């Protein structure tokens, strides 16, 4: 084992916002949407991380969230996030990702979760756009997650460092060096970079949506996101 750092320890958490379905309905609303509704619940969900042990493999561990000194927040276009989740889903099933397949994936998702989302969580303004979208529930979770992430940072009085997903692709080593500098850790010369640098450029991701779907999704996004998320998303041209 390497000695523990003298200062901060870098941990990773999905703050209850991550679930990759193997079967429809596997990501339960109670576990992956309700924590996004209330700051205290989201805050508690963030205070966990995955550690690995030789005996038991991956384990979820919890820590005191009030000890957090710095926050690194990865930003990614919501269109790319939703498309990536579809492609990962297809990859698990050994099926090639296609535009038609994405339409089907979103239709199944909206059937499985759509009415529950709309009747339980959506405001009338959000409802007005949802029926003309694809995967509105997926977008809802992504957008609400970012809203709450910035709320947590404000609650802790910490200005988060924003890392954009595509920047890893453009300059992986340089951005990882910035990450290590920010958290006060020394990067080992033989450090392997555990990042998946395969991503869909924005223009490619948008090809999976019709013009009508895009228009409705833009309205949905604008209705939900906070000013902080709007600023973080400003580099993306929808």
Is pLDDT of 29 > 80?
Answer: no
Higher pLDDT, 23 or 63: 63
Tell me: the pLDDT tens digits for 204-221?
888 899 999 999 999 999
The residues near 27 (Cβ < 8 Å, ≥ 6 apart) are 19, 20, 21
* Residue 52 pLDDT: 67
What average pLDDT does range 28-40 have in this prediction? 72
Give the DSSP letter of residue 235. Answer: G
C-alpha separations of 13 from 28, 29, 119, 122, 183 in Å? 19, 19, 29, 26, 15
Closest residue by Cα to residue 139 from 90, 196, 92, 80? 80
* Residue 184 pLDDT: 79
Tell me: the pLDDT tens digits for 155-198?
999 999 998 988 888 888 888 888 888 887 777 777 776 665 55
* Contact predicate 185/5, CB 8 Å: yes
* Contact predicate 212/37, CB 8 Å: no
Closest residue by Cα to residue 232 from 157, 153, 133? 153
- Paired with 48 in beta bridges are 62
Higher pLDDT, 15 or 31: 15
* Residue 183 pLDDT: 81
Indicate the pTM of the whole model.
0.84
Is pLDDT of 139 > 90?
Answer: yes
């Amino acid at each position: 084992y390497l000695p523990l750092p003298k200062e901060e320890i870098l941990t990773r958490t999905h703050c209850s916002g991550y679930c990759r379905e193997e079967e429809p309905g596997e990501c339960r609303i109670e576990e992956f949407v309700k924590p996004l509704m209330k700051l205290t619940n989201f805050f508690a969900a963030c205070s966990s991380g995955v550690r690995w042990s030789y005996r038991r493999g991956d384990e979820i561990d919890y820590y005191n969230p009030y000890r957090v000194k710095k926050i690194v927040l990865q930003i990614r276009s919501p269109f790319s996030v939703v498309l990536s989740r579809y492609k990962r889903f297809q990859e698990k099933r050994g099926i090639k990702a296609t535009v038609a397949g994405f339409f089907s994936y979103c239709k199944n998702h909206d059937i499985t979760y759509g009415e529950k989302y709309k009747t339980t969580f959506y405001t009338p303004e959000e409802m007005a756009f949802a029926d003309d979208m694809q995967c509105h529930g997926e977008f809802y979770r992504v957008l609400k997650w970012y809203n709450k992430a910035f709320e947590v940072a404000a609650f802790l009085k910490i200005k988060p460092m924003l890392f954009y997903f595509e920047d890893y692709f453009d300059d992986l080593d340089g951005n990882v060096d910035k990450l290590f500098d920010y958290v006060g850790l020394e990067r080992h010369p033989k450090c392997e970079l555990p990042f998946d640098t395969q991503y869909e450029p924005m223009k490619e991701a948008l090809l999976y949506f019709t013009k009508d779907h895009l228009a409705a999704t833009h309205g949905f996004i604008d209705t939900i996101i906070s000013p902080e998320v709007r600023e973080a998303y400003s580099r993306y041209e929808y």
